[in-house]
Amino acid sequence: MKIKSLLSLLLIAGSATVSYAQAGWNWPEGQEEIAQEKNVIYTDNMKAKNYEACREPLNWLIVNAPDLNKSLYQNGAKIYDALAKKSKDKAQKAMLQDSAMLTYDLRAKYFGQKAAVIDRKVYYAYYYYKDEAEKYPEVYEMFKEAFELNGAKILDNNCVAYMDLMRRYKEQDENAISDETVIATYEQISTILDQKEAKGKNLDKLETIRENVDKLFTSIVDVDCDFIANTLGPKLEQDPNDLKLAKNIFKLSVAGRCMEDPVFLASAKVIQSQEPDFGVAKLVGMKEKQAGNYEDALAYFNQALELTDDETKKAGLFLDMADVYAKSHQAAKAREFAMKAVSADPSKKEAYTLIGNLYFSSFDKCKQNKNKVEDRAVFIAAYEMYAKAGNQGGMANAKAQFPSMEDIFTYDMNVGDPVSIGCWINKTVKVQKRD
């Protein structure tokens, strides 16, 4: 216990306020030569990985020259960690791990940079103490402070470690951390990961970390559709501008397949209002379309159009908008947007089917009951659209409604004669007969 007691005594002895040491080396007055000698001995042995031989000179420097140089504590942490890993004795291993932890405290005390130091400290604290339940309260408080001080600068791996520590702590004591606290911490970590990803670096690694954080969260808190709707939903209603909460509801709803719940749509709208995104705008538009809220659907589809320069994506949106106009009985607008879809992406052949359906269903609306050939010309127009789409079924159905040869003869017309379709279609086709 000698190492631990020496460091503990040093902490107690130096409990008064300390001015941070200046950059460089602060050799102890009157003991410069012995301090330099001790420094050479321990650093040479450290380079040779003879960590046991580092102990005596390192301890002497920690006690007699605590503000020598921050490398004293950087190296000290490495030495104690190496000794702890090598030790087979459980008590000695614990003592060495505790000593490593104390080097971080001393470094922050004498050389500042507390945020960076505690970030490193909790990284090792998790691995040292993750299986020691009696340490969970202490390590949990360390993590809280580390995340508060560092924010998005926290070490990537500490995000997973923090969530896993909470999982272990809550398994050991169900009342140690409330579900609300777990949710808040999860939101904090999710935001930090968002900020890290925004820098565009290590994206694959961060994606894996996020997946692990998500899995740990759902293993700590029983997240199902009822939880999202009844626990998180009311919070969003209370503060409809809470972007972090909205993002978490959105993500958890997707993961839990709760996308039909109203709170999912509400969360998507909050996200879209504060951080406009093509995918979210389109999703909300589709949801509103499914609900029959056509005006709102068009509004979100228009937002999505403004958020992309991709012609293929635009074509998909134009087709969705055409469908909305068709469902709201605005046939001319539906045709207009279907043609926009084909113009943006000629492969969108289904746009022609949509137009064909519009023509086919316009018979009752457009017929004049004066000339059967002219009235049935809408089916010829529909056939032409189905043909462009390659829709064999549509073509067959339309052809079955063509005027008969008897009708063509009765109205003194011939196959191939031009016939104009008025109504909203306003198109000329050539007379064709059904088989």
Q: Phi/psi of residue 421, each to 5°?
A: -105, 120
Same domain membership, residue 300 and residue 284: yes
Asked whether residue 145 is assigned to any structural domain, the reply reads no
- Same domain, residue pair 187 and 213: yes
Query: What is residue 66's DSSP assignment?
Result: T
Structural domains of the chain, count: 5
Torsion angle defined by CA atoms of residues 24, 30, 31 and 32, in that order, rounded to the nearest 10 degrees: 40
CB atoms within 10 A of CB 81: 19
Q: Flag whether 32 is in a domain.
A: yes
Whether residue 341 sits in one domain with residue 285: yes
Per-residue pLDDT of the chain (435 residues), as tens digits, is 344 444 554 544 444 344 454 458 888 888 888 989 999 999 999 999 999 999 999 999 998 888 888 899 999 999 999 999 999 899 999 999 999 999 999 999 988 989 999 999 999 999 999 998 999 999 999 999 999 999 999 999 999 999 999 999 999 888 899 888 898 899 899 889 988 988 888 888 988 999 899 889 888 888 789 989 998 999 999 999 999 889 889 988 887 889 999 999 999 999 999 999 999 999 999 999 999 999 999 999 999 999 999 999 999 999 999 999 999 999 999 999 999 999 999 999 999 999 999 999 999 999 999 999 999 999 999 999 999 999 999 999 999 999 999 999 999 999 999 999 999 999 999 999 987
- Regarding whether 88 and 45 lie in a shared domain, the answer is yes
The one-letter code for the residue type at 280 is: V
Same domain, 4 and 92: yes
Chain-centroid distance, C-alpha 30: 59
Alpha-carbon separation of residue 73 from 24, 34, 43, 108, 190 (angstroms)? 14, 19, 12, 9, 32
Q: What are phi and psi of 428, to 5 degrees?
A: -110, 135
CATH number assigned to the domain comprising residue 305: 1.25.40.10
107 contacts: CB under 8 Å, gap ≥ 6: 70, 73, 74, 77, 113, 117
In a domain, 87, yes or no: yes
N-terminal to C-terminal alpha carbon distance within the chain: 102
> Does one domain contain both 176 and 259?
no
What is the reported pLDDT for 57? 93
Dihedral (Cα; 166, 170, 175, 176), 10-degree rounding: -40
Q: Is 134:107 a contact under the CB 8 Å cutoff?
A: no
Do 284 and 259 lie in one domain? The reply is: no
What pLDDT sits at residue 10? Answer: 53
Q: Is residue 120 part of a domain?
A: no
Is there a domain that residue 2 lies in? yes
Domain C-terminal end among 302, 324, 348: 348
Residues 98 and 4 in one domain: yes
Is there a single domain that holds both residue 267 and residue 324? Answer: no
Q: Nearest to residue 161, comparing CAs of 209, 102, 90? A: 209
Q: Is residue 157 domain-resident?
A: yes
Look at residue 123 and tell me if it is in a domain: no
pLDDT for the residue numbered 4: 45
The pTM assigned to this predicted structure is 0.67
Can you give the three-state secondary structure of 14-51, one letter per residue? CCCCCCCCCCCCCCCCCCHHHHHHHHHHHHHHHHCCCH
Q: What are phi and psi of 418, to 5 degrees?
A: -75, 140
Say what the pLDDT of residue 47 is: 94
Token digits for 240? 């409809």
Among 185, 201, 221, residue at a domain's last position: 221
Q: Indicate whether 7 and 107 sit together in one domain.
A: yes
Has residue 105 been placed in a domain?
A: yes
Domain boundary among 348, 374, 397: 348
The residue among 210, 161, 162, 215 whose CA lies nearest residue 190 is 210
- pLDDT reported for residue 227: 86
Q: Are residues 98 and 174 in the same domain?
A: no
pLDDT at residue 244, rounded to an integer: 83
Burial of 234: CB neighbours in 10 Å, binned 0-12, 13-18, 19+ = exposed
Domain residues for the domain of 240 are 223-275
Q: Indicate the burial class of 379 (C-beta count within 10 angstroms; 0-12, 13-18, 19 or more).
A: buried
Does residue 80 share a domain with residue 4? yes
How do beta strands 427-430 and 418-421 pair? Answer: antiparallel
